[in-house]
Amino acid sequence: MAKIRPSQGTPYARIMGVGGYRPTRVVPNEVILETIDSSDEWIRSRSGIATRHWASDEETVAMMSIEASGKAIADAGITPEQIGGVIVSTVSHFKQTPAVATEIADRIGAGKPAAFDISAGCAGFGYGLTLAKGMVVDGSAEYVLVIGVERLSDLTDLEDRATAFLFGDGAGAVVVGPSQEPEIGPTVWGSEGDKSNTITQTVPWDDYRNGTVERFPALTQEGQAVFRWAVFEMAKIAQQALDAAGITSADLDVFIPHQANMRIIDSMVKTLKLPEHVTVARDVETTGNTSAASIPLAMERLLATGQAKSGDTALVIGFGAGLVYAATVVTLP
C-alpha cells in the first residue's frame, strides 16, 4: 500500500497584517429615528451605538473587500501574487454563485488561489481564521487572505424598532502566514442549531420571489434571548479559548469580541473578570454591528489608534446567527 507524502507546511501560523474599510456615509441615530418611534438616548442605552456606516451603490461587497485586502496585504509586507487562498465570510452578498472570493482574488491580482465564501454569521471571521491557519500549517497555501464583509443595510428593516439601529456596513481583512511560534491558538467553536430562530432572516428568498410576501427579506432577532446567550454562554466559550491557549485573563493585553452591542461587551468583561489593564474593543459605538467584519475592523482601529500594539496577546470571539460561535487567542500583527 502506497504511503501519502506528508504535507510540506509550517509548524504554526500567525496574523501578519490587517486592513479595514468603512463606507464614507456616516449615519447618526437621528436618521434611524425618522422611521421608528424611539430616541437617541434609548438607542445608546440599549446598544451603545451612536453612528454606523452605510454603503453607497458603488461600495459593493467586492469593492469594500478589495480596499480592506489591499491594506492588509501591504501591512503584511507581501505581494498579492503570494496569496494562495482567499476566504470571504459574508451573509450579504446577494449573488448565489460564483463566490465573491473569486472576483476579489482576481481583482487584487492574486493569481489563481483557492477562493471560496463561507456563511457563519457574526462568527464568520473566526471560522475563516481557523480555516486559513489550517491551510498554512498544512502547506496548501503559504499566505491566506481572510475577509469579513457585510452590507447589512441591505437586510435591515428600518421600521423594526428592535433592529433598525443595530446594523452597519464595512469590510475587514487579515493575512495569515507561516510562523515558527504559535501565534494563533486553538479554536473553540461550535453551534447550537436548536436556537437558530433567535437570529434569522424574516422569510426565505423564494417566498419573496414567488410573491408569498411583499416585503423584502430582512434580519430579525429575539433580543433578550440573544443577550442572555451571548453574555452567559459566550463568556464560558471565551474562558475555554483562554484555557486551550494555556493562558489566563491576566496574560491578556486585548479583548476583541464581536461588536454586537455595548451592553453585551461590558457584561462579558465583567463575567470574565478581565483585569483593568486589558484593552477592550468598543468599535460598535461608531461602526454598529457589522457581523463578520466587526472583529477585523475593531482590530485594525485598535492598532491604528495605538490602543493596541504589535505583539499584544488578544482574545477574539465571534457569535451570532445559527447560533454559532468561534473563539481563539492570537498575537496581534
Which residues belong to the active site?
Answer: 122, 258, 289
Terminal-residue alpha carbon distance, the chain: 44
Report d(CA 51, CA 315) in Å as an integer.
25
171 in Cβ contact with 65 (< 8 Å): yes
Q: How many CB atoms lie within 10 A of CB 99?
A: 19
Q: How many CB atoms lie within 10 A of CB 98?
A: 11
105 in Cβ contact with 86 (< 8 Å): yes
Report d(CA 173, CA 192) in Å as an integer.
27
